[in-house]
Amino acid sequence: MASSSSPYPGIFLKSLFSFLVLSSLAMASNFNQDFDITWGDGRAQILNNGELLTLSLDKASGSGFQSKHEYLFGKIDMQLKLVAGNSAGTVTAYYLSSQGPTHDEIDFEFLGNLSGDPYILHTNVFSQGKGNREQQFYLWFDPTADFHTYSILWNPQRIIFSVDGIPIREFKNSESIGVPFPKNQAMRIYSSLWNADDWATRGGLVKTDWTKAPFTASYRNFNANACVMSSGSSSCDSKSPTSTTDNLQWLSQELDSAGQERMKWVQNNYMIYNYCADTKRFPQGLPPECSNTNMS
């Protein structure tokens, strides 16, 4: 259950973890080198010699981009500053995805809200075309006031979602009990800003206020310590991942006891929906991976 306190308490944590995260980030890449703007008719822009990317949304259209590379496992970091003010009805999506009807996908989606009300961070994992594994959170800071780091660690054993270096969710490989896990399909990174006022805010009750347009989300400090797939072969096969680091430690990384405690703190205080607790949605029994300890 979410805490009944303010959605943005614990601001003191911001400076502590921001220092740790920013000091540990590898040299950020250049958006011109790593991404293609794919839609939006000029509403997406790469600025500051490739150091900043912005997406905008108005009544006519949103905008989006995708990575030039496909990845099969990696540690992906991106800093985002979300739409400020009245962002109700808008969705900023940042995710990894393969293509086709049996696609795999690892999602961050940020659901906008009325001024002063908290964003909802929506997460999901698709494997072999099946999703329905939603977990939702409030954040312990205002994600529109500054940039924050949103990370996906994806290796053959687990997927870990983190915010400013704090793990919020772990999805473990549960193939041993018949649950498909994303491990065979290379994925690109995608992001988009779009209008979803038919469902995004209070189930669609609150509509987008177009008098506040254009809405803008900003991105910087992308980093991929990852295995790049090209013509069916992986850069990690030659031990040359796209990173300034010289090892593949993340490929077998797991949460230590401190990470487990931090994740438990987030889930106890800021989780507002967990599909593994929704017995009304799954009257025939919860999905099998829900029995895997700490999979959430």
CA separation for the pair 231, 128 (Å, rounded):
21
pLDDT of residue 28: 53
* pLDDT at 247 exceeding the cut of 80: no
Q: How many residues does the chain have?
A: 296
Domains and CATH numbers, the chain: 31-290 (2.60.120.200)
Please list the active-site residues: 105, 109
Question: pLDDT by residue (tens digit) across 120-176?
Answer: 999 999 999 999 999 999 999 999 999 999 999 999 999 999 999 999 999 999 999
Mean residue pLDDT of the chain comes to 89
pLDDT of residue 201: 87
**Percent of the chain beyond pLDDT 70?**
86
CA separation for the pair 156, 21 (Å, rounded):
24
**Percent of the chain beyond pLDDT 90?**
79
* pLDDT at 237 exceeding the cut of 70: yes
> Could you tell me the pLDDT band of residue 188, with boundaries at 50, 70 and 90?
very high
Using DSSP, state whether 118 is helix, strand or coil.
coil
Cα distances (angstroms) measured from residue 239 to each of 155, 159, 235, 245, 250: 15, 21, 7, 11, 13
Using DSSP, state whether 109 is helix, strand or coil.
strand
Q: What is the pTM of this model?
A: 0.88
Pairing of strands 63-67, 135-137: unpaired
67, 238 in Cβ contact below 8 A?
no
Query: What is the DSSP-derived secondary structure letter of residue 253?
Result: -
Higher pLDDT, 22 or 46: 46
Query: What is the DSSP-derived secondary structure letter of residue 11?
Result: T
